[in-house]
Structure 1
Amino acid sequence: MAFRNVMALLYFSGMGNNDDPWYNKKKAIKEGEHLEAKPCVNSLTVRNSHVLPPDTNSHGTLFGGRLMAYIDDVGAIAAARHARMPVVTASIDSVDFLTPVKEGNTICLEAYVTWTHRTSMEVFVKAVTENLLTGDREVCTTAFLTMVAIDDDGKPTEVPPVYPESKEEKWLHEGASSRAEYRNNRRKDSKELANKFGADFPWDPTTNQKA
């Protein structure tokens, strides 16, 4: 993981030359060229992993936090694959752990972009656990992530539109605008809550006096 992050930093630090496809994509955006729509399947990202003892809790099941890290990872790859730009995570919708993922089983995550809005992308992630001995498979988690494409200055930048083809993709695409509206309202509420409580140290005796 550390090696991959170092390599990513080295790669991104080299951005800005004419041989870099991401540089050329950004140049096209700045020059006002039309961004061609891409199918959802173009961003499809799949990850398979064994669930090993270091990944599990005292119950012998996968740590929820580890699964969330997997979700964020495949979601970011799918978004970058669609945008061909660096991306950051703007939000992750509520994650429901539907069934435990047991040690010795595998977990397979599938992610793809379902919808875009100028600089942001909705990414759907589905996680399936499989018992390799019996072949039993169950969906253990689903999640929606919002990823934002950024330029060299860390500012949001335009992404190509996306269009669905399969029945699943169409169903997800049709409900995306409603989910986006819900997220925007939730984000406003989160900002209001953050402003209300502030960033003071909890042990500061003056904090309660300000309330």
Structure 2
Amino acid sequence: MSIHYKSASESRVAISELMLPSYSNFNGKIHGGYILSLLDQIAFACASKHSRAYCVTASVDTVDFLNPIEVGELVTMKASINYVGRTSMVVGIRVEAENIQTGVVKHCNSSYFTMVARDDEGNGVEVDGLLLEDTTAIKRFLKAVKRIETKRKRKEEFDREDFVPSDYLADLEKYKVKVGF
């Protein structure tokens, strides 16, 4: 079986939506939960476009809220495939908000979602490879690999059966915590 490759541009998705008062929180800013819902939708669309399969969210690896989004701003989300595994993909998403009266655009959010392609029975579907066409694509791929490796190492270190908290007491001294045993 030969591997097919797609560039990130072939799966790229963008959506724009005007932020309404009904999306705001008690502080008058757009609720982060609403933005998360939109992020999940665009991650699904991007991953499904790349894999040509139904995709599910396996994890939300990073969501950095950088600037608040105001009611009345036009939010644009841009998603692209940053990494592919056998059945999984990391979708990178950039969120920008534009003040439609002034034209000022601000970067509001960066997110990384791990999506998995599934068939009708819920089994994993092998996805196309990723063609890295420029330096930006290479950086995005390598950053995704580093996040995956860090996540795996953290799990191996702290989710072990033989984990001993006392091994980390000295590390905890530099934080604002008190160990009560």
Give the drift of 1:186. 4.8
Q: Which residue, out of 42, 45, 49, partners 2:10?
A: 42
| Unaligned segments of structure 1, at least 5 residues | 1-32, 194-211
Counterpart of 2:146, as a letter, is S
Extract unaligned runs of 5+ from structure 2: 162-181
* Counterpart in the other structure of 1:3: none
- Other-structure match for 1:60: 28
Which string of whole-angstrom CA distances, capped at 9 and with x for unpartnered residues, describes residues 110-143 of structure 1?
0011111111101100000110111111110001
- Given candidates 68, 72, 85, the residue that maps to 1:117 is 85
Q: What's 1:15 paired with? A: none
Q: Please tell me whether the aligned partners of residues 73 and 99 of structure 2 are also in contact (alpha carbons under 8 angstroms).
A: yes
Query: Using a 3 Å threshold, how does the CA distance of structure 1 residues 191 and 90 change in structure 2: closer, same or farther?
Result: farther
Is residue 88 from structure 1 mapped to residue 56 from structure 2 by the alignment?
yes
- Deviation for aligned residue 1:188: 5.9
**Correspondence for 1:51:** 19
Which letter maps to 1:37? Y
CA distance, structure 2, for counterparts of residue 140 and residue 125 of structure 1: 11
8 Å contact kept, 2:16–2:75:
yes
Separation in structure 2 between the aligned mates of residue 186 and residue 146 of structure 1, nearest angstrom: 17
Partner SS for 1:107: strand
- Name the CA shift for 1:150/1:192 in 2 (closer, same or farther; >3 Å): farther
Counterpart among 133, 139, 142 of residue 174 in structure 1:
142
Normalised to the residue count of structure 1, the TM-score between the two structures is 0.71
Q: Quote the residue 2:121 is aligned against.
A: 153
Report 1:1-211 matches (<5 A). Answer: 33-186=1-154
Residues of 1 paired with 2:67 and 2:102: CA distance?
17
Q: Matches of 1:165 and 1:179 in 2, distance apart?
A: 21
- TM-score, normalising length: structure 2: 0.82
Going from structure 1 to structure 2, the CA distance change for 1:189 and 1:53 (only over 3 Å counts) comes to farther
Instruction: Looking at secondary structure, tell me which structure has more helix per residue.
Output: 1
Task: Check whether the contact 2:97–2:106 (CA below 8 A) recurs between aligned residues.
Answer: yes
SS of aligned partner of 2:2: coil
Deviates more, 1:54-63 or 1:163-172: 163-172
Is the contact made by 2:62 and 2:113 (CA closer than 8 Å) also made in structure 1?
no
Aligned residues: 161
The alpha-carbon deviation at position 69 of structure 1 amounts to 0.6
Q: 1: distance between equivalents of 2:45 and 2:115?
A: 10
Tell me how far 1:40 sits from its aligned partner.
0.5
Q: Which has the higher contact order (CA 8 A, sep 6+)?
A: 2
Amino acid at match of 1:149: A
Q: Secondary structure at the match of 1:94?
A: strand
Distance 1:192 1:49 in 2: 44
How many Å apart are 1:101 and its aligned residue? 0.1
Q: Which has the higher strand share?
A: 2
